Amino acid sequence: MNILVTGAAGFIGSHVCEYYTGLGNFVVGIDNFDNFYPERIKQMNIDSLLKSDKFQFHNADIRNQSSLNSIFSSNKIDIVIHLAAKAGVRPSIDCITEYYDVNLNGTIALLEAMKLNDVRKLIFASSSSVYGNNQKVPFSESDRVDNPISPYASTKKSGELLCHVYNHLHGFDITCLRFFTVYGPRQRPDLAIHKFTRLIDNGQPVPFFGDGTTARDYTFIKDIVGGINCALNNLNGFNIYNLGESRVINLDKLVKTIENCLGKKAVLNKLPMQQGDVEITFADISRAKEEIGYNPRYEFETGVEEFVSWYSEMKDKLYK
């Protein structure tokens, strides 16, 4: 099987590419090394992939229609896994135009390239942020998601709607996966577990927003990759699934778990809640379990231990 992965040099993308090349598939990766965090970190993510004859990489922007058309026309693609996007809830508040340009116009360009080259199967990476401050927990795919509280969340909901249009008009088989706070080795440096680990390790103050009761459904990267594969093996029509652990960890416990793994105490800089942040994310994963066989396995403490082990091994290269 030939799989095209957008956002291939990113945290989730590099793991996905490794997984499918490891199974013997040919993977075409696209990434434009967006400057949201240093390019050398993304290069490190794909160093081993570039040595594989099962991997072909293109430094390209998904908004560039001619580049996409050229990549599709020169490769017989069977399935697309679309992970590329401008990421981050808080940064999207100050960069609305760019987030809409990349996340929506880039998705349209990709869908059009697929249509032109008769590729009709797509996994679309959505986000738990589409639920906003949903008062009902856990969050279910049947809940209304008409009240996003950040531009990033609204682009992800809009992306789901675009996918539905291409399913309806052109017969695409598309599954949208709502990821819940993914973490693990290679996690982006700006995300909480990575950022807190680095700050605690260095004895620097940790920005602690709110009273510590805000909570997230942290999902380990290997469970996310497993969920993507479940969806890929069950692509039929238009579907939306939550991918989470269906367990909630509050901010206090997050900090204490990292402290325990590092053997160091955190210095907390207590701050008010920030705009765009939701109070809780909590996935109802019953539909994904029943319909596609999704079965997350990682305990939070085990996942953080794996991340801290990776960080300890890589920190000199990451922050040289």
Extents of the domains making up the chain = 2-183+218-245+281-297
pLDDT band at 279; cut points 50, 70, 90 = confident
Average pLDDT, the chain: 95
pLDDT at 63 over 70: yes
Angle between helix 106-116 and helix 151-170 axes, rounded to 10 deg: 20
140-145 long-range contacts (CB < 8 A, ≥24 apart) are 140/242, 140/284, 140/287, 141/178, 141/240, 141/241, 141/242, 141/284, 141/287
pLDDT for residue 138: 95
pLDDT for residue 134: 85
- Take residue 214 and report the two structure tokens written for it: 């805000």
CA distance 190 to 150: 17
| Active site positions, annotated | 152
pTM: 0.96
Task: Say if residue 271 is exposed, middle or buried (CB neighbours under 10 Å; 0-12, 13-18, 19+).
Answer: exposed
The CATH number of the domain covering residues in 2-183+218-245+281-297: 3.40.50.720
Q: Work out the percent of the chain whose per-residue pLDDT is above 70.
A: 99
pLDDT band at 175; cut points 50, 70, 90 = very high
pLDDT at 103 over 90: yes
